[in-house]
Amino acid sequence: MKRIGILTGGGDCPGLNAVIRAVTKAAHQSGYQVLGFQDGYAGLVLNRFMVLTDALVSGILTQGGTILGTSNKANPYRWPVPKRSGTKRARLGDVSKKALAHFKKNRLRGLIVTGGDGTMAIAKKLHDDGVPIVGIPKTIDNDLPGTDITFGFETAVITAADAIDKIHTTAQSHHRVMVVEVMGRYAGWIALYSGAASGGDVILIPEIPYRIEAVCRKIRERARAGKHFTIIVAAEGAKPLGGRWTVQRRVADSTDPIRLGGIASKVAYEVENKTGLEARSIVLGHVQRGGSPTPFDRLLATRFGTAAMRLAESGSFGRMVAYKNNCIESISLEDAAGPIRTVPADHPLLVSARTVGTSFGDLD
């Protein structure tokens, strides 16, 4: 029996189950058995998996999350190992040879890895060490290089935009400044799209350091025009000019230990002190990762899954499927693990938002 493996790494995201379903059904059509490794790379290191049957993947197209589980901590190259006597902190070691051994033990012809930038960086290392891998791009942040869009992004934008729409009425009724914090550590795609779609008056993104004076100036301009409320949409990675991220906490054993959070509260506090207007903050957080994927995300995930299986079947490993100019293509894992895709200064939506009067907190 020919065998192929699949795992989902990093944060969860609407559309992951659609990918699992697509890979499984496409593999079965070609006579493959599919092993689904559980909880991301942890499943490969610990050899935890389930055999994916048609019955198991039936009906999961519309479900959020992932039936395989995931992890944003599991990294075979930075794996917690027993502490040495007398030490207080856990050590991180390289157990990638265990992952490779389990890949061989299960007689797999290839491994399909679904994830974001961190997951793809690990996939590139594993592939170089002898695991034949095909990647599938997944992140609500939409920041993976080489692909125009990732599944999960549209669902997250719709979730965020719906919340901002609802906040409008409260802001207007109470004459408040409402600061809505959305996800986006290095890239402001969610903030830009959801903020523009919901008529956000100020949008703060990581790519454009803001000045609180410029933000307050926009609020005062609106007040003078008789608009006694303001909606501010802030990506979690937004930071003031010359300033730093707002860090909520650190997780020592994570591949990316810094956890951002609190920019909305920070901006609301500063706005209230400088303008005298009541300001409130709202953090949407992980609600953006949940729920049923939109039809577009279901279709994109299905196309990615079937394309990944075609690459694996043809032996075209070391590549990641990508969406470019409305077509499904592929790029090398090396390119996929490159610098993240941020919002360019001349992006058409950013230009349009400025044209209709949206402030990004950067201009006098």
Specify whether 55 is located in the same domain as 177: no
pLDDT in tens, 244-266: 877 766 666 665 666 677 899 99
pLDDT at 349: 97
In a domain, 364, yes or no: no
- The count of domains in the chain is 2
pLDDT of residue 46 exceeding 70: yes
Residue 119 shares a structural domain with residue 14:
yes
* Average pLDDT taken over every residue of the chain: 93
Q: Is the same domain home to 300 and 348?
A: no
Provide the pLDDT for residue 39: 96
* Tens-digit pLDDT profile for residues 186-236: 999 999 999 999 999 999 999 999 999 999 999 999 999 999 999 999 999
Domain, as residue range, for 189: 155-289+344-355
Catalytic annotation present for 141: yes
Tell me the whole-structure pTM to 2 decimals: 0.91
Q: Which of 117, 141, 201, 297 is catalytic?
A: 141
Residue 50 placed within a domain:
yes
Tens of pLDDT along 56-91? 999 999 999 999 999 888 999 999 887 666 666 667
Give the CATH number of the domain where residue 193 resides: 3.40.50.460
Q: What is the pLDDT of residue 206?
A: 96
Q: What is the 3-state secondary structure (H, E, C) of the chain?
A: CEEEEEEECCCCCCCHHHHHHHHHHHHHHCCEEEEEECCCHHHHHHCCEEEECHHHHCCCCCCCCCCCCCCCCCCCCCEEECCCCCCCCCEEECCHHHHHHHHHHCCCCCEEEEECHHHHHHHHHHHHCCCCEEEEEECCCCCCCCCCCCECHHHHHHHHHHHHHHHHHHHHHHCCEEEEEECCCCCCHHHHHHHHHCCCCEEECCCCCECHHHHHHHHHHHHHCCCCCEEEEEECCCCECCCCCCEEEECCCCCCCEEECCHHHHHHHHHHHHHCCCEEEEECHHHHHCCCCCHHHHHHHHHHHHHHHHHHHCCCCCEEEEEECCEEEEEEHHHHCCCCCCCCCCCHHHHHHHHCCCECCCCC
